[in-house]
Chain A
Amino acid sequence: DGGITQSPKYLFRKEGQNVTLSCEQNLNHDAMYWYRQDPGQGLRLIYYSQIVNDFQKGDIAEGYSVSREKKESFPLTVTSAQKNPTAFYLCASSKRQGGSYEQYFGPGTRLTVT
């Protein structure tokens, strides 16, 4: 079964705690992305990575950190510096080249911080 997995589906944390969201893909895609979605809104790009050991900030990177040590994995850490962390987080991946630009999305993690 090829695809992107995100875990857990629901996550609850107390304010002030860091939390790491998992994203794994077995599509052999080079590029991976993290988005945040707030209720009734579109997706906003947090971080993206086009190759192992390299990543770039997106539009709303403050309070988040990522790593890309393996091609298959792109974990996102929501730090205590993120002022409004409660949101739906989506991970995606895409091929690096070949004219195929579509992104494949995981099922998402809904994070609630109280």
Chain B
Amino acid sequence: SQQGEEDPQALSIQEGENATMNCSYKTSINNLQWYRQNSGRGLVHLILIRSNEREKHSGRLRVTLDTSKKSSSLLITASRAADTASYFCATDDGLTNFGNEKLTFGTGTRLTIIP
């Protein structure tokens, strides 16, 4: 089952602009993660935000989490051509408590940065 659903499915912006992607989920979570996938490659972890956190920053990335709305957003500031990739949110199922929560991935947002 798809826990996370990203919006939009595809996004094209000019280099230097900011890109915002959203993720909605259905059930309670312990944490939400964002991953990036370049075409034909494995996923790379970007950032993790726990359910008791509202905002987190990492370099040009800013993630917010609103547990009341069951949604998260990923903002990439000052985009670069190298940011072109698919971005996925992933939520844990909150059912296991020893550090190996199963992750459920959304369908992703395909981001294209136009030079």
Q: Which A residues have a C-beta under 8 Å from some C-beta of B?
A: 4, 30-31, 35, 40-45, 48, 50, 58-59, 88, 90, 92, 94-108, 110
The 5 closest A-B CB pairs, nearest first, are: A105-B42, A102-B45, A42-B105, A97-B99, A43-B105
Indicate whether A42 sits within 8 Å of B108 (C-beta atoms), given known contacts A94-B100, A98-B99. yes
Q: Which B residues have a C-beta under 8 Å from some C-beta of A?
A: 1-2, 4, 31, 33, 35, 40-45, 48, 88, 92, 98-108
B98 to A41, Cβ gap below 8 A? Answer: no
B105 to A31, Cβ gap below 8 A? Answer: no
7 contacts between A and B (CB under 8 A): A42-B2, A45-B104, A96-B98, A101-B31, A103-B43, A107-B41, A108-B41
With both beta carbons as reference points, the residue of chain A lying nearest to B6 in the complex is identified as A42
Smallest Cβ distance from A55 to chain B, in angstroms? 12
CA distance A67 to B47 in the complex (A): 30
**Extra pairs beyond A92-B43, A105-B43, A108-B40 (14, CB < 8 Å):** A31-B99, A31-B100, A42-B108, A43-B88, A43-B105, A90-B43, A94-B99, A95-B99, A101-B33, A101-B48, A105-B44, A106-B42, A107-B42, A108-B41
Smallest Cβ distance from B25 to chain A, in angstroms? 12
A102 to B41, Cβ gap below 8 A? Answer: no
B45 to A30, Cβ gap below 8 A? Answer: no
CA distance A108 to B40 in the complex (A): 8
Complex contacts, B104 vs chain A, CB 8 Å: 45
Smallest Cβ distance from A23 to chain B, in angstroms? 11
With both beta carbons as reference points, the residue of chain B lying nearest to A40 in the complex is identified as B107
In the complex, which of the residues B42, B100, B106 contacts A42, with contact meaning CB atoms closer than 8 Å?
B106
Smallest Cβ distance from A64 to chain B, in angstroms? 16
